[in-house]
Amino acid sequence: MMEELHQIGEILADRYVIKSLLGRGGMATTYAASDRLSNQSVAMKVLSLRQSSQWKAIELFEREAKVLASLNHPQIPKYLDYFHIDLESDRRFYLVQELIEGESLAAILQNGERMTEAEVKEIAIQILTVLCYLQELSPPVVHRDIKPQNLIRRPNGAIALVDFGAVQDVYRHTIAGGSTFVGTYGYMAPEQFRGQASCASDLYGLGATLMFLLTQRIPSELPQIRMKIDIRACTNVSSAFADWLANVLEPVTEDRFNSARIALDALEGRSNNYQPMSNYITLLRTSGEVEKAQKLKPLDTRIHYERTSDRLTFKIPSLGFRPLTLFFGGLAILIYWSLDKFILPYLNTLGLISQIPLGIVAFVVGLMSLMCALLFGYALIGNILIEVNRQTFEIAWYLWGVRVGRERGYNSEITSIGIVETVSGNGQKNTHYSIWIGEKQYSFDSILMEKEEMDWILGEILSFLSQ
């Protein structure tokens, strides 16, 4: 049995009076205490260096203090103090925070209370609001241990999210690396077993918690189909709510809502974000045909291509001195040379110079020459970067390594992706490969690519976003 760290009535740091034991976790003990300076009740989490078997526990404890100090949300306990005390045979670390009055959702159900679908949805909305705050910080914060024990219902009905002992900030984890296995079995997303928590992982924890509230059973005990909880077999909720729960409980990260904001919009009926990408990303043609595209990568492509579970990148290099490049360069020189050697002398011979202002003639022909020269320069030194992640897409254009243009958009707002053919006034057909957000069009076709390459890129984008 673990040694009791403090006794009731003991005073720490000449300030905090221990009132009662609140609970013991895997690495720390939490007490209710009173602050003699402010005369308020506080929660004091204590970590003993002697009792802790791993230095990782100390790192997580310090990280919790650091993250809590940076947060400011009414449904997250306020950070108050952090200090340590050295004893003869031990060093103890203390995190002092606001004491949240109320009962955990786990205790509420254990006491016999049962919740309706409407009540469970209201809890989901409250927690999603907190997750929106955490995920929209810079960098985002992932809680990693959302479960009924860490959700406290206050007397006024508000739900507070507590125990940030497993917290991870996404930037630190991504840049510095690491694969800490943190979470609670049954409520932990599958990717957390691999140490790969993301914002979507907290959505899984929320979904598992909601299933516990609906069924009074631990999620790991619920019936499954192909490693996925069979929601309709163990609940009697509406079809729309069952579909929503099915999404947040998808075992594969890419199949889940990728942010709390999108999940909240879906739950509250803003259905544009609720439909899976595959339902509304379409390949458009002038005939109105809707189809999906998936082309093989051209064998001789120069395009540098990278695809991971979270990111899709195409780097399209310049053409260099290729036939098309030389064509535009030669055409620009030819037009300019023709203007000087043939066009203007011919007009002068016919006596038309006096009838047609020379400036207009020179401007029109010079503009044609300039356009060809720009195309020559772009083909020679230009390049394009197309990047799609789980939140946004971006198309950027570069000349000699300097970005000269960029367009960005949110994936959740995409209405269609595909090909559109337009016909100009002289009957010439033009084909554009584009992403649409409403009426706004983001084209990614270019003279730097062959048609087969653009078909392939289009198919890859559709495939990536449809997952």
| Residues in contact with 322: Cβ distance below 8 Å, sequence separation at least 6, in sequence order | 379
190, 219 in Cβ contact below 8 A?
no
Structure tokens at 86: 């050295």
Tell me the C-alpha distance between 225 and 364, whole Å: 69
Tell me the C-alpha distance between 181 and 451, whole Å: 46
295, 286 in Cβ contact below 8 A?
no
Structure tokens at 185: 């079995």
Active-site hit among 145, 202, 445, 455: 145
Q: In terms of Cα–Cα distance, which of 108, 144, 141 is closest to 123?
A: 108
Tell me the C-alpha distance between 145 and 27, whole Å: 14
Structure tokens at 184: 């609670």
Tell me the C-alpha distance between 215 and 223, whole Å: 11
- Collapsed DSSP state (helix, strand, coil) of residue 294: coil
Tell me the C-alpha distance between 311 and 271, whole Å: 25
Q: What is the identity of the amino acid at 421?
A: E
Question: Per residue, what are the HEC states of 383-442?
Answer: EEEEEEECCEEEEEEEECCEEEEEEEEEHHHCCEEEEEEEECCCCCEEEEEEEEECCEEE
Structure tokens at 456: 């392939």
Structure tokens at 23: 């609970």
Tell me the C-alpha distance between 207 and 81, whole Å: 33
Cα→Cα distances 215→120, 191, 241, Å: 11, 24, 14
Tell me the C-alpha distance between 112 and 92, whole Å: 38
51, 93 in Cβ contact below 8 A?
no
Q: What is the identity of the amino acid at 449?
A: M
User: Is 86 designated active site?
Assistant: no
| Residues in contact with 21: Cβ distance below 8 Å, sequence separation at least 6, in sequence order | 29, 30, 31, 32
Catalytic center residues: 145
